[in-house]
Structure 1
Amino acid sequence: MPGLTEGTELVGEFTGSGYRVPPHLVHRFDGQVIHLPPLLYQATKLIAEHERTAEPEPAGKRRAKSGATQGGYAVMAKVAEELGKLSGRAFTAEHVAYLMDKKLAPLGITRYSDGSPPEIPKANSFLTLRFRKAVLSERATWFIAGLFAWLFTPLVLMAVVATVLVGEVWVFLSQDVGTAVATSMASPNSVLIVVTLTLTSSAFHECGHAAACRYGKVKPGVMGCGIYLVWPAFYTDVTNSYRLGRAGRLRTDLGGVYFNGIFVLALIAAYLNTHNPVILAAILFTNLEMAQQLLPTLRFDGYYIVSDLVGIPDLFKYIGPILKHAVLRKPADARLDALKRWPQIVVTVWVLTVLPALAVQLAIVLTRLPQWTASALDSTHNLADEALNNPHPVLGVASALLQIILLLLPLVGVLLICWQLLSSLLGFLIRRYVPEKTRAAFAARLTRRRRRAAFLTLALAASLALIAWALIPSPQPTTAHRPTRTTTPTPAPSPTHPHDTKPAPQDEAPRDTATGAPSEPSAAAPTERPGTSDKGQEKAESSPSPREPSAEPEPSAAEERPAAEEKPAKNEPEPEPSAEEQDCATLLGLSLGPLLCR
């Protein structure tokens, strides 16, 4: 019997859309929202109505043309008759069977004309939430939303927003948030408390979306958790918000950030009572979460705000047409012509702004990935050592493990994104340049299990190569840099008492530094080395002056022998010759220093 697939719902006309002809929406059982033109939506609606009233028949009698049973053919004949009345055009049962088999069933909206279920296509975008697991049912979500729906009353909303703004200004202008964060991150107990409060804020964020849906008189779906890229994330099914107008959809999008602000107010109240720096750290991380959610790049709340503001549900599918039209100067795609003027401008600005920003961010991440990997591994080693030496082993290990996970998750996410981008590029090149018969033969031999094994092998190899690249030490120079000798003469001493005179200063011995740069030799001040006794100093003070002051003119620099050439002390090592002196001092194994190195 022809009909809708299980779980498919008809939403209706998309109000406040950015299309010239408003599309009609169909909500599939897997959460996907599909746009249909008016004719296909009317056909789908009639099929759903006649499916409920038709009597089931055993499958056995089939028609040669359409393959449908006698009851199914009767349903399609009635649908064709009523569709002709609504559209003003003539339709037959074969026309309806064609629409079902070629248009609706491939989208997963209806079954085929013979009653067989279609293979539901799955979204292959890596920007979607994966591994969803419902935690709260629709009934529980409806109950929780009812507890907080009154917070969207206009007077209450304005009062709460004003209070949040005042509290935020007071915290960041009068409190030392940076010191509080540094203090909190140094304690394992504080780290666990901050992470717990941040996760609680994220869960309360989802309650805001559900409460906004209930305030708009639509039913929210389940609440649960999943994986976005590689990060754990909470989610709330608010697909029914498409039944609302533009204002209702924007209220639903902003409901999560609004509830984050309410959570910040609760934290400020707790801080006023306790003055605990851990709460200030939690306030900072909650604000960072709010700022992240308002970004219009990935599928955060900011993306859906822009999407609902212009009335276009999926902005990413317009990246290709806009780049071809705006950058490559090709004729506008039919999908762009279907948009109104101002939504088309907004989407074009969004694509030309967000896409370069994402490309620059990805380039920065890839260039600094080895350095970040090495730093993350060093931090992991330090955290493990601190956890083992912590006087509270349970809390220390739990805190260290949590911080290690937070350190390594971004690295795994970057690797996964790079792998998916390379896979998409490789798939595009294969579809473009490899014949279809060759692709089909290769796909027949490469089973799903083998593809998964190949993927895991390549991912493991890439991870090991990256870790090895990060751990390989940088090459050290083979020859050390040595300071060159100076021939600057020692300045003449000023006339002083004979007992106050000191011996002529000597060059400071070169010292090894962490950066490999030699220290600057000094010819004006004596170097005091560790281990010199007081007797040695007294002996030096009692020695005669190198030269008594006289009224005669001072000798020239060429006549005066520099102090650097005096015979060094017994305990002082002889300064090593420079590379140039070594080259000129030895020729064919003969010592030619006195002749060549003057």
Structure 2
Amino acid sequence: MAAGVPSPKHAAIPLDRSGSDVPRLVDGVQLLGEYQGSAYREPRFLAYRPDEQAVLLTPLLYDLLSRIDGRRDLTEIAELVSARHGEPVTADGVRYLIEEKLEPLGLAALHATIDKVPVADPLLSLAARGVLLPARLVRVIARIFAPLHLPPIVIAVLAALLTLDCWMFTSGHADGAIRQTVADPGYMLLTIGLMLVGTLFHEWGHASGCHYGGARPGAIGFGIYVVYPCFYTNVTDAYRLNRAGRLRTDLGGIYFNAVFIVGLGCGYLASGYAPLLAGAILVHGQIIQQLMPTLRMDGYYIVADLVGVPNLFALIGPIVQGLLPRGRRTHPRPQVNLRPFARRVVTAWVLLVIPFLAGGLTLMVLRAPTYIGIAWQATATRWAVIEQAFTHGHIATVLLYTFATTMLWLPWIGLGLLLARILKRATRAVTRRRGQVTEPATA
């Protein structure tokens, strides 16, 4: 996530305050430099926050932030910023920018600590998340697999994938492998295991692509995204890379899916073991799912980096405001500040994603009672199968049906968490609005 910051050029600045105060960066804040390939009309710079979020800053705010070292006071910082930008900036101006801009963003403060450091909480974020592999281990894995991103190896893998797919879908072996796998619980369990391994390998692709470009990947974790259980990789540091480096990181997961397919296909050719080919076929479905640009999957980040906007979801509100008739806008002039082509692309994305998300969520909520009833009946049926299989010692069947039952309920758990988040935000908004209405006027 990257947060935009409005230009402070026309802000009212309080006067007659001491310039001897010494501001400090919040612990864990890192400066990532210019966001390269930006679609904004003027340059944007990035700072990395302790909650693993990247914040988008104007040149003035970024330069000011870079001058804060815990030793310089406001007057010294003002002199340095003035010299850099060629315009006079006073100590009171620096104070204002820190207190009204940088401190609310959780980047810097004039006091020893910030009372409440902001934490990113987007509506469509991971729920029930946890860490699977720590950052130190992920970086070791990334170094090991980084050579797979060398251009000759990439070309060889893609050529092998094309050849394998042509054979797989024209020879009849794919249909036979699927039939054999579905008919055998042991084969099904192994195929599910291969899919889980393939999903984790997908994350290694993101991490190794990030490392290959010169950035440092973070931890790999798990959670529920909207209604889908998933893995994730923290590659926020890739924002410091140029557009090609960011796209390599974005595409690294799908590329590693291709590597995994080639490996499974070669294994099948060598052994004739049906679950290997069935797994290779199913990984194609993962690739198609990841290319969706409407949710925060690989396709979303690919579009964002191609356009040059790090956080497309943050622009939904301003874009929608700009499309409304002037009389119905809550803000007179929504500030987007994108170049014309980028604005057209982002507008098209917004017009695609709003009906997709609203329609999908509405359908799930309306049909939830029916679907949950079906899931409950299926759970009862599967539990009877599990008991019978356990009695007869069919461990593969027990594990398969237990996993299937768990996966059956995870989307509904995710939907419940999403609705709870929506309700919490709505309650907070109503409370805030009531507070504004009842607040007495002051002279």
TM-score over 0.5 for the pair: yes
Note if contact 2:129-2:223 (Cα within 8 Å) is conserved in structure 1.
Answer: yes
Give the SS at the match of 1:19.
Answer: coil
Shift of 1:303: 0.4
Residues 287-322 of structure 1, C-alpha deviation per residue, up to 9 Å, x if partnerless?
111111111011001000010011001111221222
Q: What does residue 309 of structure 2 align with?
A: 312
- Is the 2:161–2:262 contact (alpha carbons within 8 Å) kept by the matching residues of 1? yes
Q: CA deviation at 1:182?
A: 5.0
What's 2:59 paired with?
A: 38
Q: State the TM-score, normalized to the length of structure 2.
A: 0.86
Counterpart Cα distance in 1 of 2:438 and 2:382: 52
**What does residue 377 of structure 1 align with?**
376
Opposite residue 299 of structure 1, the aligned amino acid is R
Q: Which runs of 5+ in 2 are unaligned?
A: 1-21
Change (3 A) 1:324 1:155: same
Q: Measure the CA separation in 1 of the matches of 2:27 and 2:413.
A: 37
Q: Secondary structure of 2:118's match?
A: coil
- In the TM superposition, 1:42-191 aligns within 5 A as 42-48=63-69, 51=70, 54=71, 75-111=73-109, 113-175=110-172, 177=174, 180-181=177-178, 183-191=180-188
The residue that corresponds to 2:335 in the other structure is 335
1:234 to partner: Cα distance: 2.1
Distance in structure 1 (CA, Å) of the matches to 2:407 and 2:209? 31
Structure-2 change in CA distance of 1:420 and 1:136 (3 Å)? closer
Question: Could you say if the C-alpha distance between residues 324 and 160 of structure 1 is closer, same or farther in structure 2, counting changes exceeding 3 Å?
Answer: same
Q: In structure 1, what is the Cα distance between the partners aligned to 2:146 and 2:279?
A: 25
Equivalent residue, structure 2, for 1:398:
399
State the alpha-carbon separation in 1 of the partners of residues 429 and 90 from structure 2: 40
Give the match for residue 193 of structure 1. 190
Query: Aligned equivalents of 2:108 and 2:223: distance in 1?
Result: 28
RCO (CA 8 Å, sep 6+): is it higher in 1 or 2?
Answer: 2
- Taking a change above 3 Å as real, the CA distance of residues 261 and 273 of structure 1, as seen in their structure-2 partners, is same
Name the residue aligned to 2:283.
286
**Equivalent position of 1:548 in the other structure:** none
How far apart are residue 372 of structure 1 and its match?
Answer: 2.4
Deviation of 1:285 (Å): 2.4
1:106 partner SS: coil
Q: CA deviation at 1:34?
A: 0.7
Match of 1:203 among 200, 213, 218: 200
The secondary structure found in structure 2 opposite 1:173 is: coil
The 1:359–1:178 alpha-carbon spacing in structure 2 relative to 1, beyond 3 Å, is farther
Normalised TM-score (structure 1) = 0.65
- Please state whether the residue corresponding to 2:52 is helix, strand or coil: coil
Return the alpha-carbon distance in structure 1 between the equivalents of residues 320 and 175 of structure 2: 43
Q: How large is the RMSD of aligned CA atoms in angstroms?
A: 2.5
Q: Which amino acid aligns with 2:195?
A: T
Letter in 2 for 1:399: L
Asked whether the equivalents of residues 217 and 236 of structure 2 are also in contact (C-alpha less than 8 Å), the reply is yes
| 1:149-548 map, 5 Å | 149-175=146-172, 177=174, 180-181=177-178, 183-229=180-226, 231-328=228-325, 333-336=333-336, 338-390=337-389, 391-432=392-433, 434-436=434-436
In 1, Cα distance between equivalents of 2:111 and 2:255: 50
SS in 1 for 2:103: helix
Q: What are the Cα deviations for residues 161-201 of structure 1, in whole angstroms up to 9, with x where unaligned?
A: 12112212322232354564454344332232122111111
Q: 1:429 to 1:419 in 2, by over 3 A?
A: same
Partner SS state of residue 117, structure 2: coil
Output the CA distance in 2 between the equivalents of 1:91 and 1:363.
51
Greater mean deviation of Cα atoms: 258-267 or 226-235: 226-235
Deviations 1:560-589 (A, max 9, x none): xxxxxxxxxxxxxxxxxxxxxxxxxxxxxx
Q: Supply the AA of the counterpart residue of 2:52.
A: G
Task: Name the CA distance, whole Å, in 1 between partners of 2:413 and 2:222.
Answer: 19
CA distance in 2, matches of 1:215, 1:195: 30
CA distance in 1, matches of 2:75, 2:303: 43
CA 1:99–1:323 in structure 2 vs 1: closer, same or farther (change >3 Å)? closer
1:8 aligns with 2:29: yes
Distance 1:368 1:186, change over 3 A: farther
State the distance in 1 between where 2:293 and 2:274 align: 32
> C-alpha offsets along residues 131-166 of structure 1, whole Å, 9 cap, x if unaligned?
544444444323222222222222221121121122
In structure 1, stretches of 5+ residues that fail to align are 55-73, 440-598
Shift of 1:252: 0.8
Please give the alpha-carbon distance, in whole angstroms, between the structure 1 residues aligned to 2:181 and 2:365.
Answer: 31
Do 1:108 and 1:121's aligned partners in 2 also have CA atoms closer than 8 Å?
A: yes
Distance 2:419 2:73 in 1: 50
Q: Are 1:23 and 2:44 matched, yes or no?
A: yes
Give the superposition deviation at 1:96.
2.2
Identical pairs, percent: 38
- How far the C-alpha of 1:429 sits from its partner, in A, is 4.7
Between structure 1 and structure 2, the one with the greater Rg is 1
Residues 185/419 of structure 1: CA separation in 2 closer, same or farther (3 Å cut): farther
CA distance in 1, matches of 2:403, 2:129: 22
Aligned-partner residue type, residue 30 of structure 1: D
2: distance between equivalents of 1:126 and 1:346? 23
Task: State the 1:231 CA deviation.
Answer: 4.1
Deviations 1:48-77, CA, capped at 9 Å, x for gaps: 3xx2xx3xxxxxxxxxxxxxxxxxxx6222
